[in-house]
Amino acid sequence: MPTALQRRDGLALAVLIGGVAYCLVAPIPLFRLLGLVLALLVLLLPLSRRVMKLLLVLIVLTGLSLPWLLRYRPAVVAAPGHEMRWPTRPAPLAGMAKSIRSLEEKRLCTYRLLGWDAGNTLYYRETCRGDARLWAYHPEQETLRRVSALPTAISRESVPRRDLLDRVVVPSVYPPSAEADMRRLCVRESGLVSPDGRWIALVARRVYGPEDVIILGATTKGSGE
């Protein structure tokens, strides 16, 4: 009995194209495997039109789930009892691209904290493929703007790395017992405290992936001691 593709069934062709596309471009290995299975089913088995419709629906639904599956989160988030600001939060499509970079263990942009001004605005440098930009972020107003230079007076009071580790957690670590070790890998440098002591900025990075600037609400005034 000929397969649906041999009968030149349009549904079979659509499923085959979807399966091949998943094999070639899907950023998640499970999706690539699914694409391979679907393509082989169409090529080798005499499937009914009803089954073809179900397979096509499966392709569409899994495709629609990609934005949710690939939503980007920073390497660490604020621990319970702390508030967090995320100056480098990407837009949805950029977040998907950043998630893919994380799966590929690539880091396209790096960040360096430069200090705080007297008005509690954080300044940091973003370097992407050799292109450096200066950014200013105010955590209370949650406003981000590009700047051309640092202010004349800037505070660089640091917070020791060890004092940052209790303020953050790494989400979705398995087994949970490995979370503390992963946290130490994601937070590798000291942070900078704002002049009023309310905010602490740090750079969090995945082991072989993207990094982000994170700002935490400080629980104590000063350097976090």
pLDDT at 107 over 50: yes
What is the spatial distance between Cα 222 and Cα 198, in angstroms, rounded to a whole number? 8
If you average pLDDT over each of 39-48, 92-101, 161-170, 215-224, which comes out highest?
161-170
Q: How large is the angle between the packed helices 49-69 and 10-25, nearest 10 degrees? A: 30
What is the spatial distance between Cα 141 and Cα 162, in angstroms, rounded to a whole number? 28
If you average pLDDT over residues 76-87, what whole number do you get?
93
For residue 82, name the pLDDT band (cuts at 50, 70, 90): very high
Lowest model confidence (mean pLDDT) among 1-15, 103-117, 191-205: 1-15
What's the confidence (pLDDT) of residue 171? Answer: 87
What's the confidence (pLDDT) of residue 3? Answer: 58
For residue 223, name the pLDDT band (cuts at 50, 70, 90): very low
Lowest model confidence (mean pLDDT) among 15-29, 86-100, 163-177: 15-29
Map out the domains of the chain as residue ranges. 10-69, 77-217
What is the spatial distance between Cα 17 and Cα 20, in angstroms, rounded to a whole number? 5
87 or 38: which carries more pLDDT confidence? Answer: 87
- pTM exceeding the 0.85 threshold for the entire prediction: no
Find residue 143's DSSP bridge partners.
Answer: 138
3-class SS string, 37-55: HHHHHHHHCCCCHHHHHHH
pLDDT at 179 over 60: yes
Strand order of the sheet with strand 191-193? 84-85, 211-217, 199-205, 191-193, 158-159
What's the confidence (pLDDT) of residue 224? Answer: 38
| Residue 47 token pair | 């499937």
pLDDT at 8 over 60: no
pLDDT at 6 over 70: no
